[in-house]
Amino acid sequence: MTTFGHKGVEAVQKKDFAAAIPLLDKALDSANSPVWLLARAQAHQQLKNYDASLHDAELAYHVAAERGSGTSRKQMIEAQYRRSVLYQKLGRYADADCCAKWSMLLAEGRPAREDDGVDKKIDADGNYTVTYEEGVADSKGQPGQAGGSKMDQIAGFMGGGTGGTARTGFEGDWNRAYAWRSQVLGILKNVPEDHPGRKISVTKIPAKPQKKAEKKPEPKKPEPASDNNAAKPTEPKVIAPGSVPDEQLKLRADFYQSNQNVTVTLFVKDAKKEDITVKFSKKQAQISPLPRGNAPYVKAGDREATSTFHLGGEIDPSKSRWSVTPRKIELVLQKATPGAKWGTWGTEEIGLVTTDNAAAETSALPAAQAEPTAAAAAPAPTPSSGPTGPSYPTSSRSGPKNWDNLGEAEGEEDDDKSDVNFFFKQLYKGATPEQQRAMMKSFTESNGTALSTDWSDVKGRKVETVPPEGVEAKKWD
């Protein structure tokens, strides 16, 4: 079974998630390895099997804690981080932030069962009270920032001050959880006050799930056939066209909003991106053809295959976009009036409904297609005599980094992308101009090994290269 486990982990590393799961299933039939459970949790997550992924992450936490081996703490840190990612995917943002914080505390060397009060930060309405600004500033416990060594030069990435804990060996895990936490809190601050994602329903030590056991149905003994009791095939239940009321055909929907956009998630199974057409107008969105799970008789071209969504406010149709996954359709609607707060996303009406603003109707491409098209149509930039942001040498495959553009929104990143880049971006975005100047100077002069936001400390000296422990810095000839 070890061979299946190794192959399954390798498949996850190669991002072949569909192939990884059956291999890891076979390996886990014989032993509950935290490594295999965490690998399968990641595979399930990428395939959007969130319940199965959460089961594996929580079981991995308990198995690692019970084993108490030299790698147990790292596996527990990973399990808490994985829980955070999954809760964010499920729209449980307060729970996601709690788990990210617990992952950071484990990386700092804190006791696993310490009563840290993270899940008790709620108001009278039961909403989570930790803000984005508080989360970004919460870096005093960062490991590797104490002891009087040269590593103090990087102390307090956001504050530039001293403090923190000694090296624990989990500095990279702490940075990843911290960066992810800032992303979660960035989403949470734009979520409506009455959104269920603001409630805490998670515990620091998850309930231990049981190992899944697949029950095989016992074969039924056929009854002897006779002249009076002949075996008759079961006829499938037929749903007559038009027998399902419109109200039962409507899709389940969820939404959240920011100053610029309203994001509406429509839960529908088996919608095919290549077949779907979405049309936006100022106060409407029309989608067809839509599969109806409780009315399989509905076919493309039928009235019931189209839904008209009457929106809760006015939008800019040309800047709105949409995307499709096997279980949902997501509409990102750009508000015609930025900052206007919608009381509701709108209502759904079955069928094609035209209104007075139908003339403003535009067909929209999926988000993945619309963005490149807009970029291709944009005019080529012309040289400007005005000042441009500083660009510094780098070995990055993406080329030199313009730090002045680091704070611009570049879209939400998943946990398997470059979390370090996201971490730097969040730090730079929230810093003052003086802190940004200190970050650029310390980072470039130290060849990317030190980062400080204390301008008074770095302005009068050259920041030395401080390679990680066990690594020797060498100059290029």
CATH number at residue 352: 2.60.40.790
pLDDT of residue 98: 95
> Span 304-330, mean pLDDT?
91
CA distances from 124 to 14, 120, 121, 128, 129 (A): 47, 11, 10, 10, 10
Percent of the chain having pLDDT more than 90?
35
Residue 364 to residue 163: CA distance in whole angstroms: 52
pLDDT reading at 178 higher than 60: yes
Distance (Å) of CA 68 to CA 34, 110, 312: 11, 15, 54
464 within domain boundaries: no
User: DSSP letters of 168-193?
Assistant: -S-HHHHHHHHHHHHHHHHHHTTS-T
Q: What confidence tens digit (pLDDT) does each residue in 30-59 have?
A: 888 899 999 999 999 999 999 999 999 999
Interatomic CA distance for residues 14 and 413, integer angstroms: 19
- Last residue of one domain, picked from the residues 139, 163, 198: 198
Residues 194 and 252 in one domain: no
Task: Determine the pLDDT at residue 384.
Answer: 44
Residue 216 has a pLDDT of: 44
> Which tops the pLDDT comparison, 465 or 63?
63
Measured between alpha carbons, how far is 82 from 254 in angstroms, rounded to an integer?
A: 24
Domain shared by 154 and 303, yes or no: no
**183 and 253 both lie in a single domain:** no
Per-residue pLDDT tens over the stretch 334-343: 999 999 999 8
Per-residue pLDDT averaged across 323-342, rounded? 90
Confidence of residue 278 (pLDDT cuts 50, 70, 90): very high
| DSSP summary character for residue 461 | S
* Residue 446 pLDDT: 80
pLDDT score at 355: 65
Amino acid making up residue 439? M
pLDDT confidence tier of residue 301, bands split at 50, 70 and 90 = confident
What spatial distance separates the first Cα and last Cα of the chain, rounded to whole Å?
A: 50
Q: How far apart are CA 69 and CA 172, in angstroms?
A: 20
| pLDDT value at 95 more than 60 | yes
Whether 168 is covered by a domain: the verdict is: yes
Count of domains observed in the chain: 2
- Average pLDDT rounded to a whole number, residues 347-364: 68
Residue 41 belongs to domain with CATH number: 1.25.40.10
341 lies in a domain?
yes
Q: How far apart are CA 362 and CA 367, in angstroms?
A: 15
Considering the domain architecture, whether residues 280 and 172 belong to the same structural domain is answered as: no
Q: Which has more confidence, 462 or 294? A: 462
Q: What is the mean pLDDT of residues 60-76?
A: 90
Backbone angles phi, psi at 351, to 5 degrees: 105, 175
Q: Kindly state the average pLDDT of the residues 190-197.
A: 90
Contact (CB, 8 A) for 329 and 348: no
If one compares 223 and 254, the residue with the highest pLDDT of the two is 254
Q: Is 286 exposed, middle or buried (0-12, 13-18, 19+ CB in 10 A)?
A: buried
The answer on 193 and 252 residing in a single domain is no
- Spatial distance between the Cα atoms of 280 and 357, rounded to a whole number of angstroms: 10
Q: Are residues 159 and 20 in the same domain?
A: yes
CA neighbor of 64 nearest in space, from 29, 101, 97, 103:
103
Do residues 181 and 259 share a domain?
Answer: no
Instruction: Yes or no: say if 178 and 139 are a contact pair by the CB < 8 Å rule.
Output: yes
Classify residue 290: in a domain, yes or no.
Answer: yes
In this structure, the answer to whether residues 192 and 252 fall within a common structural domain is no
The residue assigned the tokens 């100059």 is: 475
By C-alpha distance, which of 203, 100, 20 is closest to 419? 100
Q: Are residues 163 and 276 in the same domain?
A: no
Report if residue 292 sits inside a domain: yes
- For residue 392, what is the enclosing H or E element? strand 391-392
Phi, psi of 123 (to 5 degrees): -95, -170
Task: Supply the range of the domain harboring residue 363.
Answer: 246-372
Domain boundary among 323, 347, 372: 372
* Cis status of the peptide bond prior to 381, with omega within 30 of 0: no
Quick check: 380 pLDDT over 60? no
The angle at the Cα of 226, spanning 225 to 229, to the nearest 5 degrees, equals 85
- Residue 65, in any domain of the structure: yes
Give the pLDDT band (50/70/90) at residue 237: low
Same domain, 9 and 69: yes
314 domain residue, yes or no: yes
Average pLDDT value over all residues in the chain: 78
Q: How sure is the predictor about 303, in pLDDT bands with cuts at 50, 70 and 90?
A: confident
Residues 144 and 77 in one domain: yes
Distance CA 98, CA 80 (A): 9
Residues 296 and 355 in one domain: yes
Q: How confident is the model at residue 422 (pLDDT cuts 50, 70, 90)?
A: low
Give domain status of residue 324, yes or no. yes
Domain boundary among 337, 372, 407: 372
